[in-house]
Chains A and B, each alone.
Chain A
Amino acid sequence: MTDTSSTSIVTVALLVALNLLMLSLLIGLVRAWIGPKIEDRYSAILLLGTGGVAILFILAILLPLAALYDVALVLALLAIVGTVALTRSEKSDD
């Protein structure tokens, strides 16, 4: 009895945490939209990568699906690859 109630409390708290993380990513997307220079958009992309990793961690506990840790690993790798490619290509143009 106590076990099921504590489990449901953890589930509800993790769902609230998931929604707050989505709110945080939404605020980051506003910066990516209005950012006056391209560096502001880069930094918003960095926030999206990290927040996506945190969302995948929480989903891996909630579902539960351990394969989502590997998805988080790939997402963390792709965020840095994207930033490096964008800054480097900008540099090699001039």
Chain B
Amino acid sequence: MIEIIALLAIFCGLFFFLSGSIGLLRLPDIFSRLHALAKADNVGLALVTLGIIMLEPDLFNDIKLVIIWLLVMAASAISSHLVARHALRENRDND
């Protein structure tokens, strides 16, 4: 039973990953692409991590998974900020 819930969470996360990468391919400019990327990074990886935590029996590895997910959340926020500021500064220099 818990495996079915875990697989459901993993496939919901995969939906977010796929829609995030399709948005990265199809949206018109860099800021909307970063918006699509944030969905794949945060919600997609959160749901995949939730499913993997249900499948993983070892408690130590569960804690490690949560720590990796928090690190990826912080990394995604910081690097999206850096890329967006870089693009904004370049736009301002071109004007």
**Interface residues of A: mostly helix, strand, loop or mixed?**
helix
List of A residues within 8 angstroms of B13 by Cβ: 54
A46 touching B76, Cβ below 8 Å: yes
Partner of A53, one of B7, B72, B83: B72
List of B residues within 8 angstroms of A66 by Cβ: 58, 61
B83 touching A27, Cβ below 8 Å: no
List of A residues within 8 angstroms of B55 by Cβ: 10, 61
A53 to B24, CA, bound (A): 18
B79 touching A83, Cβ below 8 Å: yes
Distance from B40 Cβ to chain A, minimum over Cβ atoms (Å): 6
A27 touching B61, Cβ below 8 Å: no
Count chain B CB atoms within 10 A of each CB in A44, A46, A90 and give the residue with the most: A46
A39 to B34, CA, bound (A): 10
List of A residues within 8 angstroms of B67 by Cβ: 73
A20 to B21, CA, bound (A): 11
A50 to B80, CA, bound (A): 13
- Produce 1/0 per residue, A22-36, CB < 8 A to B: 011101101100000
A51 to B25, CA, bound (A): 15
Known contacts A17-B14, A76-B72: does B83 contact A43 (CB below 8 Å)?
Answer: yes
Count chain B CB atoms within 10 A of each CB in A28, A47, A66, A84 and give the residue with the most: A47
Residues in A lying within 8 Å of B, measured CB to CB = 6, 9-10, 13-14, 17, 20-21, 23-25, 27-28, 30-31, 37, 39-40, 42-44, 46-47, 49-51, 53-54, 57-58, 60-61, 66, 69, 72-73, 76-77, 79-80, 83-84, 87, 90-91
